[in-house]
């Protein structure tokens, strides 16, 4: 299994605080059957320059490297915050893509309405660079929970969608997560793990839940999709548009 969204690199963002905690998180990932992990520390643009971020990310990786389980591969990446206003440049976004790929993990505002400028920015970025944004933790946005058809719009625009494994386990997001999975609108999974406590990796539990619900084939499809992304193959899309409301959390 592949985890494309984690905050394991030590002392870089609000994720793992120490080398020891990062090592423990990697152990947990390995025990749960994860074979490849993408490290995606937050990148907010205003806080640090791109150059500073890349240097600090390299330093954090070198601290974790000696503790990496031998059966788990790593890739460096970032979770880039986009709002549609004063966002990082195209060059910065490309530099923050997942190592060895032309995909970049992006997150949007959780609770506020997404401005038109955000969609314009995304489609220009895709057209001008040929890179693919992966929308992080789709289940956490008010915009998508209120109106899942926006997910179809993002995919039609050329984005891919990532769900957190926790989305299948929590009451408030379960229906949304399964509906997205059933409709072929999930391309990536990530634990978004930050610590060994309340945000520990839960990949195994999510896998069991999805298999128990009878969607093992869809789960497997997402794993294949992530493999294709990391191996730079074209992602085979087969989704049904979601136009109706199926979640009324907000
Ligand atoms: Fe995250």
Q: What is the CA radius of gyration of the chain?
A: 17
Residue-level pLDDT, tens digit, the chain, 250 residues: 999 999 999 999 999 999 999 999 999 999 999 999 999 999 998 878 999 999 999 999 999 999 999 999 999 999 999 999 989 999 999 999 999 999 999 999 999 999 999 999 999 999 999 999 999 999 999 999 888 889 999 999 999 999 999 999 999 999 899 999 999 999 999 999 999 999 999 999 999 999 999 999 999 999 999 999 999 998 877 777 766 655 544 3
Q: Which two tokens stand for residue 152?
A: 């179809």
Domain limits, the chain = 2-230
CA of 13 to the centre of ligand 1 (A): 10
Q: What is the DSSP string of 45-73?
A: SSSS-HHHHHHHHHHHHHHHGGG--TT-E
The whole-model pTM stands at 0.95
149 three-class SS: helix
DSSP 193: B
Instruction: Note the pLDDT of residue 235.
Output: 85
CA of 191 to the centre of ligand 1 (A): 9
Superfamily of domain covering 2-230: Metal-dependent hydrolases (3.20.20.140)
The number of beta carbons lying within 10 Å of the beta carbon of residue 85 is 9
Distance CA 97, CA 106 (A): 10
Cβ contacts of 141 within 8 Å, gap of 6 or more: 108, 109, 110, 114
CA of 164 to the centre of ligand 1 (A): 9
| φ, ψ (nearest 5 deg) of residue 135 | -80, 115
CA of 194 to the centre of ligand 1 (A): 8
CA of 3 to the centre of ligand 1 (A): 12
Residue with tokens 């605080």, as numbered in its chain: 17
CA of 215 to the centre of ligand 1 (A): 25
Neighbours of ion ligand 1 (CB under 5 A): 79, 192
């Amino acid at each position: 299994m592949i985890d494309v969204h984690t905050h394991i690199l030590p002392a870089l963002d609000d994720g793992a605080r120490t080398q020891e905690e990062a090592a423990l998180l990697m152990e947990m990932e390995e025990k749960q059957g994860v074979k490849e992990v993408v490290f995606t520390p937050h990148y907010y643009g205003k806080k640090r320059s791109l150059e500073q971020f890349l240097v600090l990310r390299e330093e954090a990786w070198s601290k974790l490297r000696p503790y990496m389980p031998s059966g788990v591969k790593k890739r460096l990446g970032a979770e880039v915050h986009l709002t549609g206003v004063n966002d990082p440049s195209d060059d910065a976004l490309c530099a923050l893509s997942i190592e060895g790929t032309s995909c970049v993990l992006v997150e949007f505002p959780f609770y506020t309405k997404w401005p038109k400028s955000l969609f314009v920015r995304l489609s220009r970025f895709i057209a001008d660079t040929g890179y693919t944004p992966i929308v992080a933790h789709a289940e956490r946005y008010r915009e998508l929970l209120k109106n899942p058809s926006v997910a179809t719009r993002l995919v039609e625009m050329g984005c891919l969608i990532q769900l957190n494994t926790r989305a299948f386990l929590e009451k408030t997001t379960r229906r949304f997560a399964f509906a997205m999975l059933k409709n072929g609108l999930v391309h990536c999974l990530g634990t978004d793990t930050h610590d060994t406590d309340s945000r520990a990796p839960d990949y195994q539990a999510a896998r069991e839940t999805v298999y128990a619900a009878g969607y093992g084939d869809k789960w497997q499809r997402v794993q294949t999709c992530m493999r294709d992304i990391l191996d730079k193959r074209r992602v085979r899309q087969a989704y049904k548009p979601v136009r109706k409301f199926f979640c009324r959390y907000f």
